[in-house]
Structure 1
Amino acid sequence: MHSLPVFLRLQGRAVILTGEGEAADAKRRLLERAGARIVGEAAEATLAIVSDGDAATVQRLRARGILVNATDRPELCDFTLPAIVDREPVLIAIGTGGASAGLAKALRQRIEALLPARLGLLATALHDARAAIRQRWPDAAARRRAIDAGLAVRGLIDPLSDKAVDAVPHWLSEGGGLWTGADRLENIRLLSGDPDDLSLRAARLLGEADRVYHAPDVPAAILDRARADAVRILADAPPDDPGAGLSLWMEMTP
């Protein structure tokens, strides 16, 4: 991973913008949408966008400890600006590390077509229901599994369904929809160490698992496809007692 994706809250914060023309105008509109206070090069700030990619300006700003984005000069960038899918408050950012803005744009357009216009309303409804969700599932692990089940494909609040936001009260009353409460261990035998060769089933299970037991030869690139908060456990054989929720046993095919 060449960069750490982050979402910066810029409301009311100073951001330096230098340069003129269409590129500067585009960056100004983006910063204004984010609520940033746009200032000149001499002002105090922690971020700067050099819209004309001028190397000398970048050097001056970096000498002051400012993180810089230089338009069309990825080799000069401390951070890059992604293509953005905006379903407020849901934001999806697509970055290529400056390799190809055109590719990021094409991916954004594809994702835009997939996501319902009401996706942001679903996020807001889940935020407003946080107290009710905690009351319905006091145990954190059970709560996460219920949320995962509700948001799964064809779940009661499947985010790709236009009806999801209206189904939130029903999801709460039904106890999460698809989740059955059964603890289980799923076996995955990998045909290769390339994440692109994962089956749809394996990719889905990695995204849902509470813990991943794995043989020593399972590559890190595969384990990286699991949920960030899933526990990784190195083992020589499948566990006798894998624990609550969904556990995986992963090994390479001989």
Structure 2
Amino acid sequence: MHSLPVFLRLTGRPVILTGDGEAADAKRRLLERAGAVIVGEDDPQARIAIVSDGDVATATRLRARGVLVNATDNPGLCDFTLPAIVDRDPVLIAIGTGGASAGLAKALRQRLEVLFPARLGALADALFAARGAIKARWADAGARRRGIDAGLAPGGMIDPLCADAADGLAGWLAAEGQAERSRLVAIPLLSGDPDDLTLRAARLLGEADRVYHPASVPAVILDRARADAARIVTDAPPDDPGEGLSLWVTLDGAIA
């Protein structure tokens, strides 16, 4: 991973913007949407800058002051890059290529735009407002996560790709059997290349509470699991895998 994706809260914060023309205008609109206070290069309080014309001298001066810089079309002088954005406020989906190709990021954004309903943000707001009720429904943190996963799963009562998912929140909270039962699922890998993962395997890796695996399974596969999922090296599947979803991932006869 070449960069750490983060979302910066810029409301009321000064951000330097330099350069003129269409590129500067586009960056200005983006910063204004984020609530930033746009300032000039000499502002001593600013810690972030966008050099819209990619000017080397300007970017170099700002970086020497400790300012984090994005220099358009000059990735060697960029401390951060600006992603293509799918905006379903408060849901934001960012697509970045590390400055390799803005065109590719744009093309991916256009594909994703048609997938996510206009009311996706309403579902996020409804889930935020229901935090207390969700904790009351599932007091145990593990059960709560599994209940949420089941509701948000494809075809679930609050499937985020359904246009009316926000309207189903009350019914989801009241329904029985939302949390998926504890189980162990075997995933024999086709190869050590994550591009060869089946859609099912990729989905299960993203949902699992723990991943049991021999040492031969490469890290690039394990990286596809949830960040907080336990990774447990073992030569055989466990007799008692634990609560929730556990995976037994093997690399049989494949080149790691």
Same fold (TM over 0.5): yes
Match of 1:83 in 2: 84
Deviation at 1:239, TM superposition (A): 1.1
Q: What is the alpha-carbon distance in structure 2 between the residues aligned to residue 176 and residue 99 of structure 1?
A: 46
Distance in 2, matches of 1:132 and 1:175, equals 15
Are the counterparts in 2 of residues 156 and 176 from structure 1 also a CA contact under 8 Å? no
Q: TM-score, normalised to structure 1's length?
A: 0.97
Q: Which amino acid aligns with 1:25?
A: D
- SS for the counterpart of 1:218 is coil
CA contact (8 A) 1:17 1:48 kept: yes
Deviations 1:10-67 (A, max 9, x none): 0000101111111111100000000001110000211000011000111100110011
- Distance (Å, rounded) in 2 between the aligned partners of 1:56 and 1:122: 46
Pairing of 1:59-98 with structure 2 (within 5 A): 59-98=60-99
Pairing 1:145-164 to 2, within 5 Å after superposition: 145-164=146-165
Paired amino acid for 1:89: P
Distance 1:176 1:19 in 2: 57
Q: Does 1:209 align with 2:208?
A: yes
Q: Is the 8 A contact 1:150 1:176 kept in 2?
A: no
How many residues end up aligned between the 2 structures? 252
Distance of aligned partners of 1:62 and 1:176 in 2 relative to their CA distance in 1, 3 Å threshold: farther
Aligned pairs for 1:126-145 (under 5 A) are 126-145=127-146
SS at match of 1:114: coil
Q: Deviations over 1:98-156 (max 9, x none)?
A: 11111100100110001100100000000000000000000000000000000000000
* Cα displacement string for residues 68-106 of structure 1 (whole angstroms, at most 9, x for unaligned residues): 000111111000000000000000000001111111001
Distance change in 2, residues 1:112/1:176 (3 Å):
farther
Please give the alpha-carbon distance, in whole angstroms, between the structure 1 residues aligned to 2:177 and 2:192: 34
Other structure's SS at 1:59 match: helix
> Post-superposition, which runs of at least 4 consecutive aligned residues in structure 1 deviate over 2 A?
none
Alpha-carbon distance between aligned partners in 1 of 2:251 and 2:22, rounded to the nearest angstrom: 52
What TM-score comes out, normalization by structure 2 length? 0.97
2:245 equivalent in structure 1: 246
What code does the residue aligned with 1:112 have?
Answer: E
Aligned counterparts, 1:167-246, within 5 A: 167-175=168-176, 177=178, 179-180=179-180, 182-246=181-245
The answer to whether the aligner puts 1:51 opposite 2:57 as a matched pair is no
User: Displacement, 1:175?
Assistant: 3.8
Q: State the distance in 2 between where 1:80 and 1:204 align.
A: 28
Q: Which residue of 2 aligns with 1:20?
A: 20
Distance 2:206 2:103 in 1: 29
Q: Residue 36 of structure 1 corresponds to which residue in structure 2?
A: 36
* SS of residue in 2 equivalent to 1:233: strand
2:70 alignment partner, SS class: strand
Per-residue CA deviation, residues 146-180 of structure 1 (Å, 9 max, x unaligned), is 00000000000000001211000000000463x34
Q: CA RMSD in A?
A: 0.9
Name stretches of at least 5 consecutive residues in structure 2 with no aligned partner.
Answer: none
